[in-house]
A and B are shown apart, each in its own frame.
Chain A
Amino acid sequence: DTEVTQTPKHLVMGMTNKKSLKCEQHMGHRAMYWYKQKAKKPPELMFVYSYEKLSINESVPSRFSPECPNSSLLNLHLHALQPEDSALYLCASSQESTKQYFGPGTRLTVT
């Protein structure tokens, strides 16, 4: 199984809502990533988990809260988002530096 899955595919939320994005991989990868991608731009790294511990936080606002409950799962909790947070949120995993496997993404719209 060489797949990274993400749910939901689409999410519309208001600025006062709390929601979560989920990512799952069963490849035994030890590194997992959250990226934010705006239209026509490359992905921007948000967080990196290595062996279930947060190893990189790219100065992301606290309204985004990552969680890695186990080696296969990665969540991104969202609270009090702004309209400018609307984007495609991509999850990826990697076992080594030779490849990151990307999920299909969650398209988030904040109203």
Chain B
Amino acid sequence: AQSVTQLDSQVPVFEEAPVELRCNYSSSVSVYLFWYVQYPNQGLQLLLKYLSGSTLVESINGFEAEFNKSQTSFHLRKPSVHISDTAEYFCAVSDRMDSNYQLIWGAGTKLIIKP
């Protein structure tokens, strides 16, 4: 069965510093990959997704993630973080063949921005 690992439960980083949030999944066979963000006391928002094509995907607020098939990873990066990026970040995987479009979730990484 598919599984998703986010090894870091918390990542503290200074404002304007770069950050990487790590995500690994168990199988590279026919999957879609997602990063969702959850701001304090809010629901989940899709940050970016990999479906096919270019292995580097970008969001409108400066985040990017790279699909690495050989390492079964989909790490999230941002070159310079802002205080407004403080949130919980979840990596998720979907099996392309799943007719119910279920998401398999990582445990989440809390991004803490230090001023």
Closest chain B residue to A58, Cβ basis: B102
CB–CB B103/A100 < 8 A = yes
For the A-B complex, the count of residue pairs with Cβ-Cβ distances under 8 Å equals 56
Chain A contact patch, size range: 20 to 34
A48 and B100 within 8 A (CB): yes
0/1 per residue, A24-53, Cβ < 8 Å to B?
000000010000000011110100101000
Within 8 A of B (CB), among A54-88: 55-56, 88
CB of B100 within 8 A of CB of A55, answer yes
State A24–B108 Cα separation when bound (angstroms): 27
Question: How many B residues have CB within 8 A of the partner chain?
Answer: 26
Rounded to whole Å, the gap between the CB of B46 and the closest CB of chain A is 6
Closest chain B CB from A46 CB (angstroms): 12
Q: Answer whether A97 and B44 are a contact pair too, CB < 8 Å, given A31-B101, A41-B107, A42-B108.
A: no
| Cβ contact within 8 Å between A102 and B102 | no
Verify B44–A43 contact, CB threshold 8 A: yes
Interface membership of B63, Cβ < 8 A: no
On chain A, the residues within 8 Å of B36 by CB distance are: 102
Nearest chain A CB to B111 CB, angstrom units: 13
User: Which residues on the B side are within 8 Å of A50 (C-beta)?
Assistant: 99-100
Q: Produce 1/0 per residue, B77-107, CB < 8 A to A.
A: 0000000000010100011101111110111
Closest to A55 in B: B100
Contacts A40-B108, A40-B110, A42-B106 hold; do A96 and B43 have CB atoms under 8 A apart?
Answer: no
Cross-chain contact B90 with A42 (CB below 8 angstroms)? yes
Interface status of B61 (Cβ within 8 A of chain A): no
Interface residues of A (CB under 8 A from B): 31, 40-43, 45, 48, 50, 55-56, 88, 90, 92, 94, 96-105
For this complex, 9 residue pairs linking A to B, each with C-beta atoms less than 8 Å apart, are A41-B108, A45-B102, A50-B100, A97-B95, A101-B46, A102-B36, A102-B45, A103-B43, A104-B43
